[in-house]
Amino acid sequence: MSMNLTLRIWRQANPGTPGRLVEYAAQGISPDMSFLEMLDVVNEQLIRKGEEPVAFDSDCREGICGTCGCMVNGVAHGPDAAATVCQLHMRRFKNGDTITIEPWRAAAFPVVKDLVVDRSALDRIVRAGGYISMNVGAAPDANAMPVAKGLADEAFDAAACIQCGACVAACKNASAALFTAAKISHLNLLPQGQAERGRRAVAMVDQMDVEGFGACSNEGECEAVCPKEISISNIARMNREYLRARLVAR
Amino acid sequence: MPSRLSFFSSTVGSKILIGLTGLLLFGFLIGHLAGNLTLLVGAESFNSYAHKLEGLVPVLYLAEVGLVAIFVLHVVRTLLNVWRNTVARPTRYSDKRRAYHTSRKSWSSTTMPLTGLFILAFVVLHIRTFKFGAFYRDPTTGERDLFRLVAEVYQNPLYVGFYVAAMILIGMHLNHGISSAAQSLGLSNQRYGRGLVLGGRMLAVVIAGGFAVLPLYMYVAY
Ligand code: FES
């Protein structure tokens, strides 16, 4: 049983020209297709008609790389919990549905083309403090540095961030607080991250602000759309780390 | 640790400031409500409470100036953030819905700047009505009879209705504000983050409900 859908897709030729929503009919869509496969089918039809296909990002198509991402009916990555848009399936929709598809919107995420946005602001936040200092030489023994189980778990949960940018897209303030908090938590919780603990918190928050992201209003929309279900308790930790670093660290 | 930004202009530092001043104002509300509950006891106890408060002159002035400063910081820093947040998303979504699952977005959270501005206007009106309202003198003690003014004001059902409605809006502001402030100050973790939201909601109901009961009581009882 196949489905016929109406798509309203954001089309924008390049960063300089204004975009608009354009309606397309998606016919003969199998409920077993993924959302991105559905877009592939639509694009093939567009190419056959000699029209420009819809540009969108994707790579692994199994929810691990963080390349894909768009707003599906007003929700980042669509309606499924703990899933990227590449893991969303068409069986989530009904025959005859209208689906609005828009790019992530933020001043810090300029549209490159159609659904593709430039997320390099997130890379610059990571570059500002997402590293640890190590002595070069032989690899240390794997068990030389004990890490408490609870801390290891929390650090790992934060490290699950795939940098897709859905948190920014979902936030009413286009804040990157959850992303930055996850990156700070990931390293600040671990013994390997202690050397740069204070400098990391300050440098990464600084960079987040310089990029023009908004402030956090604690609505938790980010946590709700995060494909890795990263908790906003990381944001509380970021604020503690930042406060501590600005007050006491040198 | 040196930074390119001043603490209070950073997104994190500004939220710490807003949270801290918000919690201090919440603390004031608790004290204010506790004092006002003497209305339920009667005219004498309310007037003597008000008189004792007025008697703390140097400390009282200091507290008043401090309270105004906290209020101004809270409002001004929030307005600056609202502006910053608007600039952070220049193009709006044509379709944006509440995320599902664990989202804490609510009527309370989305209307924070509006309920906040309402509270600002309400506080000005409130101070004019009572602090700078009619000055009755108690013939027996010779002191200000504030109770009479309160009882008079709350004889007007329109004013009672307005006051109760205002308390609902303050309750909404607190409903998001208390737990949000705690989160901004870093007083939350994965284990009790949800409990904090619930606790904040309960406190909001108690405070707003407590204040709303007073005009209703005064209307019915006097
Ligand atoms: S394409 Fe890799 S997460 Fe979706």
Q: Pick B6 or A64 by higher pLDDT.
A: A64
pLDDT bucket at B83, cuts 50 / 70 / 90: very high
In contact, A112 and A15? CB cutoff 8 Å: yes
Mean pLDDT of A21-26: 97
User: What is the H or E stretch that residue B23 is in?
Assistant: helix B11-36
Q: Which atom of ligand 1 is nearest to the CA of A164?
A: 3
CATH number at residue B125: 1.20.1300.10
By mean pLDDT, which of A102-116, A231-245, B99-113 is the weakest?
B99-113
Among A62, A67, A44, A63, which Cα is nearest to A54's?
Answer: A44
By mean pLDDT, which of A183-192, B91-100, B168-177 is the weakest?
B91-100
| Fold of the domain spanning A3-112 | Ubiquitin-like (UB roll) (3.10.20)
User: How much is the pLDDT for B2?
Assistant: 59
User: What is the H or E stretch that residue A26 is in?
Assistant: strand A20-29
**Residue A44: DSSP 8-state:** H
Q: Chain A, 59-78: which have a CB under 8 Å from a chain B CB?
A: 71, 73-76
By mean pLDDT, which of B114-128, B172-186, B190-204 is the weakest?
B190-204
Alpha-carbon distance A23 to A4, whole Å?
A: 13
Please give the residue of chain A at the shortest CA–CA distance from B84: A214
Domain range summary for chain A, segments of one domain joined by +:
3-112, 120-249
CB contact (8 A) between residue B11 and residue A240? no
Q: Which atom of ligand 1 is nearest to the CA of A227?
A: 3
CB contact (8 A) between residue A212 and residue B98? no
pLDDT at B1 over 60: no
Alpha-carbon distance A178 to B41, whole Å?
A: 49
Q: Pick A157 or B142 by higher pLDDT.
A: A157
List CB contacts (< 8 A) between A102 and chain B.
93-95
Closest CA to ligand 1's atom 3: A63
Distance B207 CA to ligand 1 centre (A): 47
pLDDT at B130 over 60: yes
Alpha-carbon distance A208 to B84, whole Å?
A: 13
Please give the residue of chain B at the shortest CA–CA distance from A108: B88
Question: According to the per-residue pLDDT averaged within each range, which of B63-72, B97-106, B135-144 is highest?
Answer: B63-72
Instruction: Report in angstroms the alpha-carbon separations of B46 from A3, A49, B32, B39.
Output: 71, 82, 12, 5
Mean pLDDT of B13-35: 97
Q: Please give the tally of structural domains in chain B.
A: 1
Mean pLDDT of B71-94: 97
In contact, A77 and A104? CB cutoff 8 Å: no
Mean pLDDT of A26-51: 96
Pocket of ligand 1 (CB under 6 A): A 58-61, 63-68, 84, 86
A22 in contact with B, Cβ within 8 Å = no
Distance of alpha carbon A183 from its chain centroid, rounded?
A: 13
Alpha-carbon distance A221 to A164, whole Å?
A: 15
Percentage of chain B modeled with pLDDT above 90? 85
User: How much is the pLDDT for A61?
Assistant: 97
Q: Pick A36 or B193 by higher pLDDT.
A: A36
**Residue A163: DSSP 8-state:** -
Q: Which of B11, B87, B99 lies nearest to residue A175, judging by beta carbons?
A: B11
Mean pLDDT of A76-102: 97
CB contact (8 A) between residue B101 and residue A75? no
Q: Which of A21, A198, A239 lies nearest to residue B185, judging by beta carbons?
A: A239
Mean pLDDT of A56-85: 97
User: How much is the pLDDT for B139?
Assistant: 87
Please give the residue of chain A at the shortest CA–CA distance from B100: A224
User: How much is the pLDDT for A136?
Assistant: 84
Q: Label residues A18-42 b or e (16+ Cβ within 10 Å = b).
A: ebeeeebebeebeeebbbbbbbbbb
Please give the residue of chain A at the shortest CA–CA distance from B17: A243
Q: Which of A173, A210, A221 lies nearest to residue B103, judging by beta carbons?
A: A221
User: How much is the pLDDT for B193?
Assistant: 84
pLDDT at B122 over 60: yes
Alpha-carbon distance B155 to B158, whole Å?
A: 9
pLDDT bucket at A159, cuts 50 / 70 / 90: very high
List CB contacts (< 8 A) between A188 and chain B.
none
Q: Which of B93, B102, B184 lies nearest to residue A224, judging by beta carbons?
A: B102
Q: Tokens 């997130």 appear where?
A: A122
Alpha-carbon distance A203 to A208, whole Å?
A: 9
Enclosing domain of residue B22: 2-221
Report the relative pairing of strands A75-76 and A20-29 from DSSP bridges: unpaired
pLDDT at A135 over 90: no
User: How much is the pLDDT for A249?
Assistant: 60
In contact, B89 and A174? CB cutoff 8 Å: yes
A206 in contact with B, Cβ within 8 Å = yes
CB contact (8 A) between residue B1 and residue A249? yes
List CB contacts (< 8 A) between A221 and chain B.
98-99, 103, 105
Q: Pick B101 or A30 by higher pLDDT.
A: A30
Q: Which of B12, B90, B112 lies nearest to residue A238, judging by beta carbons?
A: B12
List CB contacts (< 8 A) between B23 and chain A.
none
**Residue A248: DSSP 8-state:** T
CB contact (8 A) between residue A220 and residue B96? no
Please give the residue of chain A at the shortest CA–CA distance from B182: A236
* CATH number of the domain located at residue range(s) A120-249 in this protein: 1.10.1060.10
Return the structure tokens found at A191.
């013994």
CB contact (8 A) between residue B4 and residue A219? no
pTM: 0.95
User: How much is the pLDDT for A250?
Assistant: 56
